[in-house]
Structure formats: C-alpha cells, structure tokens
Chains A and B, each alone.
Chain A
Amino acid sequence: MTTVEQQGTSLWQDAWIKLSKNYLALFGLVIIGLLCVLSVLTPWIAPYGYEEQNLLLGATSPSSEHWLGTDVFGRDMLTRIMYGGRVSLTVGFIATAVALLIGVLWGAVAGYVGGRLDAMMMRIVDIMYALPFMIFIVLLMVVFGRNILLLFIAIGAVEWLTMARIVRGQVMSLRKQEFVEAAHSLGLSQWTIIRRHIIPNTLGPVIVYTTLTIPSVMLLEAFLSFLGLGIQPPQSSWGLLINYGVETMEEYPWLLIFPGVTLSLTLFALNFLGDGLRDALDPRVSKD
C-alpha cells in the first residue's frame, strides 16, 4: 500500500465540494429534505386528523394547541398545510418526472440519431413551443374535469419541451467531442459509449433543469388550484389553502399567511438549490 495514487476529483465530487460552499443552496437542500420527510410521515405525525372539525372552536389565531391556528371550521392549520404539502410536492415531483422522461428520451434520440429524424422531431418541439399551454391546461381541466392524474399529464406534457432541447443540444455537441471519437477508435461498443460517456455528461444539465422545473410545476398547480381549476376538495394543496385564505383574510389573516409562506419558502428553497447546482455542475465555471 505504498503507491500514492494522485486521486483526481470526479465531476460529482467537484460539484459536491462547490455546492457545500454555497450556503443558500445547502439551505435549500435542507428545507426540501425536511419537507419531503415531513410529507411522507404526515399521516403518522400530523397533530390532528385531516378532516377533524371543531365548530365550537372556529377560527383561532396560533396557540400552544394549534401552532398555526385553526380555520373557520376549527380545523388545525398545521395539519392541513402538511396534508396540502403532500399533494403539492407529489404533483411537483410526478409531473416533473413525466417531463423528464419524455424530454430526455425525445432529446436523446433526436440528438443521437440526427439527420432527418432530428429535424422532424425538433420541428414538432418548435410548434408545440408556440402553443399557449397555460390556456390549454385550463381548457383541459374544464373539459375533462378536475382530475389529479390529468393534471400530472397536462403539466408534464408542457414542461418536457425545454428538457428535450437541452438534452438534444448536449448530446449533439458530445457526439463530436474528441473523447467520444477516441472511444470509437478504441473499439468500444455503441452502448458502452452511450452509457459511459454520453449519459454521464448530459446528467449535469438535466439535474439542474429538473430542480428548476419542480418549482415551476408546483407554481402551476397552485395557480390552477387557486382559480379552482386544479386540486379539488376534499383533497387539499397549498394553492387551494391560499384560495381559502384569501376569502377570509380580513378577519383571519393567518389563514392566508401560513400557507403562503410555506409555498414561497419551498419555491425559494428549490430555486436556490437549482441555481447552486447550476453553478456546481457547470464545468465552465472555474474552480475557485
């Protein structure tokens, strides 16, 4: 064990070192981690039942029994925000996953195959870009009813376009790089090249864009729920809670403020994490 090997830092180690110096991004990571854990554990740790009403109590401001107060039906706000968070985060993650799957496959095929197929696939993306999707989602919700599964698909179908463009650009530039040519001339198989060289090198931008897609998806869900076109009661989401909060904000402002702060904080955390990852994973940003 005497040979001292000069250990090069891999892209991932390097990224982690950079990320761990970015306190705002770390803060975002911690917040998101906490929210995910809380959401998973909600049915066991929520202080009250989700539909547990206490009409005699009514709306109360925050107290030691109800940390975030209660709504007009005497329901515990903390509990409702926790359950709402489950839905909001689920929509955020699943719709992003749909976008990720379609976008990466589409972009990778177009970029790797190239030629006519590429031109055709990207023209489709161009045309879809020009469609006003926000309006189409509203339309979909109106026509087919406000169904959570449809919401995933509709939002996912909007968000994959940019992902496809990013992946295609990345794959196309990688195909022409010397190290890929070198791998070819060394006789590596097509699949090995894709697995060892292409995929790891597209992962950075994909991860960054995914982190930035989640908040925009959550925002879209909250927007629709706020208008009454997204998540429907008895299910709950932060957008819906904000909608209720607005109705009674003159008398009970905390019913608006707490879900609002929770949503904003989550979006804040995800955006900071995304920005931090972008700085960390972009090799063009020098190691300083």
Chain B
Amino acid sequence: MFRFAFYRLLQAIPVLFIVISLTFMLVHSAPGGPFSADKAVPPEVIKALEAQYNLDQPLWQQYVSYVGDVLQGDFGPSFKYPGRDVTELIAAGLPATAELALYAMLVALVIGVSAGVAAAMRPNTAQDYIPMSAAMIGICMPSFLLGPLLVLIFGIHLEWLPVSGWGDIPGDKILPAITLGTGYAAYIARLSRGGMLEVLSQDYIRTARAKGLSEPVVVAKHALRGGLIPVIAFLGPAFAGLLGGSFVVETVFQIPGLGRFYVQAAFNRDYTMILGTTVFFSTLIIIFNLLSDMLAIWLNPKLRQQTQGASL
C-alpha cells in the first residue's frame, strides 16, 4: 500500500514536470508577444516591460528561473494586473471554487449513490428505469445548458432563488452547486448501479441474506463497500471534470472563483496567469487522482494484495 503510494508519487513528479515544460513552451511559442495587443506603446516601454518580466533573457534561462520559482510556490507577477502576483490571484479565487466543487460533489454523491443503489435493488422495474432515465438526461444536459435553464425557471420565472453571485444573498449557492453536480450525479448513479448489481449477485450476499439479515442491513453493511468501488475510482477524474465545469458555472453565475479567472486570463492573454493556473490545476488533479486510486485500493482487498505482491 505505502509502496504503491510512494511509487505513484514518484510517477507524478515527471508528469508534473512535463506539464510545466509543455505549458511553458506553448505559452512562449504563442504568435505575438504578450504586449503586442497594446498598440500605441512606444518600443522603449515595451523593452522596459520585457525587462521587468525577464522576457529579454534567452528562453532557456527564463525556463530555468520559472521552474525554480514554481518549485518555491511563486508563479510570478500577472501580466494584466500589474503589481499582483499570480499566486495571490490563485489564493483569491480558490476558496469560492473549492467551496463550489465541494457542494457539487456532495450533490452528486447524495443523489447519485441513492439513485443508483435504489435502481440496483429492484432491477428492471420502475424503481430502476425512472432514476436511470433521469441519469441519462443528466448526462446529456451539459452544465452550460442546465445552468441557464435553471436560472430561467427558478431565478427569473418563479423568483425562488437568486440568479447570480456567491455568498451575497442567502441561497445563491444552491443553483450553481446543482448545476455543477447534476452531470456527476448521473454518472455516479450509473456507476453505483453497475457496481451494486455485480456485488448483489455474489455468494457472500446470498449468505448474508440466508442468515436472515434484513435487506437494508445486507445492502448497507455488506454490499455498499464493494459496490461503491467504481464510484470511488471515478472521484479522481470527476474532480478534474469539476474544475473544468467550474469554468462554465462560474462564468454563468458570475462567481469570483479560479475557473472564471482562468477563462478571463485566457481572453486577456494573461500568460503568466494561464501558466500559473494550469500548473496549479494540474497539480491538484494529479493529487486527487492519486488519492482516489489509493482509496479504491484500500477498499478493495483484491487490489490491495495485487499491489503488495507486485514487485513495483
């Protein structure tokens, strides 16, 4: 287990290094410098700006110093907001995004797991078809469509909930969390249905039933642990998806989070900001993939043995 974690951590290092290098190359191979958009700037000013951001140095030197800075958690100054560091901007946007992702994940897990388990307990009945059809709709309804539709219905027509903002008016966190969580709820419902169906046909479940345990106890105590492994393994990729989804949801609901900053930076061509957020997002995603893999292994004795036995 620890050996596996260690091995995976070691593997994460080159991946991160590739991410930093690739992002750096991409951003620096962009046609036109970062200041080319400002038309009426005299060449001396551009020179001075370039010197300020070290752009007058040869590329490899910039690269080396950038990697050095990143390792110390310093993503450099922002191009578009003079005087502000990218690290500072990330720190400003992170709380809202993290909170949004957390709520969305809760929505997804609560709805998804209960729908999936309910469906698996009575397969091929209405209790199966109705939540699973709803899940299919959830998958085919992207957040950039669902969000505006929810706003239209609950915000504008019924006037039950605020249409935008974050933490200003009570209840303004409900629609964004539902918008972001729904798609994942749908995937989780399908995964937990599949996992539960497989587990419920196992011999040890039959044994549990045969010794007279009630169905809720069989499901809660015996089946859930095995049946939810696919869901646990999905959490890592889902987290990566949540970050991407936060681009849309934060834009639709005007939430001052990292996702919105990223999209704005993309439009402003704020290169250091893009570079910094990309590296930051990638690190987060890699860490979460690692965590969800380890959780899945911890829950599944079969996998645990495999990783112990294998000479990594």
Give the interface of A toward B (CB within 8 A): 126-127, 130-132, 134-136, 138-145, 215, 219, 222-223, 226-229, 239, 242-243, 245-246, 249-250, 253, 256-257, 260, 263-265, 267-268, 271-272
Contacts and interface: CB of A to CB of B under 8 A. Distances in A.
Contacts of B149: 256-257, 260
Interface string B256-300: 000000110011010000100010011001100100000000000
Nearest to A226: B144
A132 B19 contact: yes
Given A228-B267, A249-B152, A264-B145, A139 B136 contact: no
A131 B136 CA distance: 28
Contacts of B29: 143
Contact of B140 (A131, A139, A253, A267): A267
Given A138-B262, A142-B266, A268 B140 contact: yes
Contacts of A229: 263, 266
B26 A130 contact: no
A271 B252 contact: no
B110 interface: no
Contacts of B11: 126, 130
Nearest to A243: B144
A139 B18 contact: no
A139 B270 CA distance: 11
7 contacts: A127-B18, A131-B282, A134-B241, A135-B244, A135-B278, A139-B23, A229-B263
A182 B144 CA distance: 54
A67 B166 CA distance: 39
A229 B136 CA distance: 27
Contacts of A127: 14-15, 18
B184 interface: no
Provide the main secondary structure of the chain A interface.
Answer: helix
Contacts of A243: 144
A243 B140 CA distance: 17
Interface of B: 11-12, 14-15, 18-19, 22-23, 26-27, 29-31, 136-137, 139-142, 144-145, 148-149, 151-152, 156, 240-241, 243-244, 247-248, 251-252, 262-263, 266-267, 269, 274, 278, 281-282, 285-286, 289
A114 to B, nearest CB: 19
Given A135-B244, A140-B26, A272 B152 contact: no
B266 A132 contact: no
A229 B262 CA distance: 12
Contacts of B278: 132, 135-136, 139
Contacts of B144: 222-223, 226, 239, 242-243, 246
A131 B248 contact: no
A143 B27 contact: yes
A41 B63 CA distance: 51
A256 B148 CA distance: 8
Contacts of A256: 145, 148-149, 152
B145 A263 contact: yes
B131 to A, nearest CB: 16
Contacts of A271: 136, 139-140
B30 to A, nearest CB: 4
Contacts of A132: 19, 240, 243, 278, 281-282, 285
Contacts of A145: 31
A135 B284 CA distance: 12
Contact of B156 (A136, A143, A239, A250): A250
B26 A139 contact: yes
Given A130-B12, A246-B144, A264-B142, 5 more contacts: A127-B15, A131-B282, A229-B266, A256-B148, A267-B140
Nearest to B183: A219
Contacts of B269: 142
Contacts of B18: 127, 131
Contacts of A249: 148, 151-152, 156
A227 B252 CA distance: 10
A219 B136 CA distance: 14
A195 to B, nearest CB: 35
Given A130-B286, A142-B274, A264 B248 contact: no
Nearest to A145: B31
A245 B145 CA distance: 10
Nearest to B240: A132
Nearest to B23: A139
Contacts of A131: 15, 18-19, 22, 282
A196 B142 CA distance: 41
A75 B140 CA distance: 27
A143 B26 contact: yes
B307 to A, nearest CB: 16
